[in-house]
Structure 1
Amino acid sequence: MCAIAQYALLWGIIIGYTIIASTSMIAVKKSNCFHKNGHNASCKTSEAMFMVMYGLFQVVLSQLPSMHKLAVTSGVAAIMSFAYSGIGLSLSVAKLVSNGVIKGSIAGNSLYSGESSLTTKLWNSFQALGNIGIAYAFSPVLLEIQDTLRSHPPENKVMKRATLYGIVVTSVFYTSLGCVGYAAFGSKTPGNILTGFGFYEPFWLVDIGNACIVIHLLGAYQVFAQPLFAAIEDRVSSKWPSNFLLEARYEVKLLFSTQTIWKVTLFSLIMRTTVVLLTTLVAILVPFFNSVVGLLGAIAFWPLTIYFPVAMHKSQTNVKKGSMKWFLLQCLVLASLSVSVIAAIGSLVGITKSLKHSKPFQAKY
């Protein structure tokens, strides 16, 4: 059950990354168009074209042999993450200061203003819980990352420290950006602060922020895709160990050099390319940023971040049934399950509504 949830989530996340990356590429094009032709100009373009471009890049990157070869890619992705988060936060602070007033409120949209109905507010609130959940969905790749660490110091100590620092930094950045962004834009806050065009100027800084997102997601895609590739390859090789598709290996070398970069099997080439193309197709058919991200967060949060780790902890530390600790852990599990269920419902409602008006291959941005 854990494996099914994990690999389904990994695939779902790279679908979401394809949507987000294409949205940022579109935002760069629109930003330059608005700067040149004015904020009311028609700058429509097809998101499908950008998803295909991103998918083609991933076809090449997917031929990297394993997680162990992603150190440089992950480092660049981390730098890009800090860069676009900082840009988004800085622009939001500047917008808030220029407004001279806090636009957001604890109650959100007024039910009497015509901006929102009670039902819409409810579904959007549920969906938002899923969006928050996806911010902490590193659990599916935690063990995969741990597997790439050296044995000294012990992997569990390194991961505890890395997890603590990661959660603290993530919480500070995302909470700050969410609160400041809402204070700056109120009910008009875009789902993605850098692609929703709350900011038109300076256009070059918006472009840099979105470029950082795309570069980050080029590497982040592989962090989540490589364990999925490895699982498929391990399963196939255990069933058909002597298949010629698995045995035939081809060397990839640098131009004008005899140095081998990596070796690839025919099966790996076909399978990884197929997964990336299928992922891109699904992203084109369901290109709804907030709803898809919310659904992924809902699916990931409870089973992989809460239920299985808590169950393993209770077994490992022999928590007595009926004790106070056991009771508190059960409350955590049930409360988290409730959050995941309502987040999934809210996101599915959002996807259903969006599908009614969806025209995947037409220019709409």
Structure 2
Amino acid sequence: MPNKPGPELDSKGLRRSDQEKYDEDGHVARTGGWVSAYAHIVTAVIGSGVLSLAWSMSWLGWPAGALCIFFFAWVTLYCSELLIDAYRWPDVDSTDRNYTYMEAVTRYLGKEYAIFCGVIQYLNMFATGVGYTLTAGVALTAVRKANCYHFSGTTKDDPDNPCTFSQTPWIIFMGALQIFFSQIQDIDRIWIMSVLATLMSFCYSFIGLGLAIAKAAEHDHGTGTADGLWEDQTAATKTWGIFQALGSIAFAYSFSFILIEITDTLRSPGENANMKKATRAGIATTTFFYASIGFIGYAAFGNGAPGNLISGFGFYQPYWLVDIANVAIFVHLLGAFQVWMQPLYSFVETSLYRRFPRQAWLQYDLFAKKVPGVGIVRLSPFRLIWRSITVVIITIIALLLGNCFNDIIAFLGAIGFAPLTVFLPIQMHIAQKKIPMFSAKWCGLQLLNVICWIISIVAAIGSIDGVIVDTQGFAPFQTTA
């Protein structure tokens, strides 16, 4: 008796559905445009870290701080456009696609580079998920604190401060919501979340900007200095602070880890041009907010700028506006978590689907329903179990590491900036365009590599020092704000 043929599978190894359309490569039809790509970029890039740039400016001072923000913007834009060109193989006019960053590196540079890329890329995605879970908890705890300070008439400097709350319930709440949202099948389907998250990032960024302008208009504030924070600081402390500030700004611009994956959501033809358009608009938007909030926040608070203008309580009043900003941060992080984690989910699942293409436990769906604006939504037992376990692990780590995790994220961002944002895109561009060794362009690209590697190394050193300082006297699960 002949064997019954197995189910027809798509390019990811998933069972094909009669309800869905497919592109010529067997992939579920890509429907994204430059607007959805722009939303993914802004959601991934801005983050609540925009509110820490005044603190970064306080270590660097006016000229160096401003120069660093624009330098990182230019480097990110230039190297991102090189990376977008690597989406097609072997050149931009080819029909063969690279679905992930790691696949592009494998084809252009070889498996050794791909392993190096994958370890840093997916570790950063996972760590960013932890950082966003923790930051979401901080934002909602800040809402309680702002209300407490308002109604009790106290401030954080009062000796009998009654407004200290545990972040644990809100971190767990964030994790519970992400278990639900993580059941969305892939990054193609979360464009609505990205659009909402982008609007929320605009919301709290404009609130932070407005509050900083109001503060700067007062007369009892510092306007910052040319050389930054020196008062009561040793030369070593100043050095570590500068290194951390560089890491903070570098991490703020890091989104190359998911650039190829976002490109793979765009409909053809023209995805290369649309992705470059989205990248230019996205980096222009983020640089506007970074420069505005960084510069005006530094002018408002001077060298006493807090680590986070809103959640770090650079502002207490008006409390209702601070509440709106912190809620907007939380909603933004809901979407940003998915933008960063969906490529990691896809990597693990696609690897398993291709390795075990006929396994029922991987292919079985409890149901598959078409949802307007999202497409076919499938509830898979395998996806439900493994993604939920991943979110639970992320939540537990956020609870364990508490307030020192921002330094760990800065460390991972520092070690990811040079290799993933700069080095690998440049090396793939050299291989793609066959640029001769020691030619003028080759030397210029390698010089940029060297500069960015130095920045990444010193930023990583500064972040390690921050971890050491923040872990002194730290007790796990005792995360309070």
Alignment-mate amino acid for residue 27 of structure 1: A
Select 2:226's aligned residue among 106, 115, 120: 106
Select 2:141's aligned residue among 26, 29, 43: 26
Tell me what 2:94 maps to.
Answer: none
Q: How much does 1:3 deviate?
A: 2.1
**Secondary structure class of the residue paired with 1:63:** coil
Residues 399 and 479 in structure 2, CA contact (< 8 A), matched pair in contact too: no
Q: How much does 1:315 deviate?
A: 1.4
Select 1:133's aligned residue among 250, 255, 264: 250
Question: Distance between the aligned counterparts of 2:355 and 2:276, measured in 1?
Answer: 36
Instruction: Map 1:309-328 to 2 at 5 A.
Output: 309-328=425-444
What is the TM-score normalised by the length of structure 2? 0.71
Tell me what 2:357 maps to.
Answer: 241
Q: How much does 1:290 deviate?
A: 4.1
Q: How much does 1:100 deviate?
A: 5.6
Fraction of identical pairs, as percent: 40
Instruction: Map 1:1-365 to 2 at 5 A.
Output: 1-38=116-153, 39=155, 40=158, 41-99=161-219, 102-110=222-230, 113-114=231-232, 116-152=233-269, 154-251=270-367, 262-287=377-402, 288=404, 290-362=406-478, 364-365=480-481
Q: How much does 1:289 deviate?
A: 5.5
What is the TM-score normalised by the length of structure 1? 0.93
Moved more, 234-243 or 126-135: 234-243
**Secondary structure class of the residue paired with 1:43:** coil
Residues 20 and 289 in structure 1, CA contact (< 8 A), matched pair in contact too: no
Question: Distance between the aligned counterparts of 1:330 and 1:126, measured in 2?
Answer: 22
**Secondary structure class of the residue paired with 2:357:** coil
**Secondary structure class of the residue paired with 1:262:** strand
Moved more, 117-126 or 55-64: 117-126
Structure 2 residue runs without a partner (length 5+): 1-115
Displaced runs of 4 or more, over 4 A: none
Deviations 1:208-259 (A, max 9, x none): 11111100110110011111011111122223334342132112779xxxxx
Residues 132 and 297 in structure 1, CA contact (< 8 A), matched pair in contact too: no
Question: Distance between the aligned counterparts of 1:162 and 1:292, measured in 2?
Answer: 30
Residues 133 and 174 in structure 2, CA contact (< 8 A), matched pair in contact too: yes
Deviations 1:299-318 (A, max 9, x none): 22111110111011111222
Residues 221 and 302 in structure 2, CA contact (< 8 A), matched pair in contact too: no
Q: How much does 1:103 deviate?
A: 3.1
Change (3 A) 1:240 1:31: same
Question: Distance between the aligned counterparts of 1:156 and 1:315, measured in 2?
Answer: 19
Q: How much does 1:155 deviate?
A: 0.8
Change (3 A) 1:24 1:191: same
Moved more, 261-270 or 199-208: 261-270
Question: Distance between the aligned counterparts of 1:221 and 1:101, measured in 2?
Answer: 36
Deviations 1:271-302 (A, max 9, x none): 10111111111112222364134223202211
Residues 105 and 186 in structure 1, CA contact (< 8 A), matched pair in contact too: yes
Moved more, 121-130 or 281-290: 281-290
Alignment-mate amino acid for residue 333 of structure 1: N
Q: How much does 1:363 deviate?
A: 5.4
Question: Distance between the aligned counterparts of 2:210 and 2:422, measured in 1?
Answer: 33
Question: Distance between the aligned counterparts of 1:182 and 1:247, measured in 2?
Answer: 54
**Secondary structure class of the residue paired with 1:249:** coil
Change (3 A) 1:238 1:297: same
Deviations 1:34-93 (A, max 9, x none): 001122332111122211110010000000011111111010011111111111111011
Structure 1 residue runs without a partner (length 5+): 255-259
Tell me what 1:257 maps to.
Answer: none
Q: How much does 1:185 deviate?
A: 1.1
Higher relative contact order (CA 8 A, sep 6+): 1
Residues 245 and 265 in structure 1, CA contact (< 8 A), matched pair in contact too: no
Deviations 1:92-126 (A, max 9, x none): 1110101365431122223xx43x22211211211
Alignment-mate amino acid for residue 142 of structure 2: A
State the number of aligned residues.
Answer: 356
Question: Distance between the aligned counterparts of 1:158 and 1:247, measured in 2?
Answer: 33
**Secondary structure class of the residue paired with 1:194:** coil
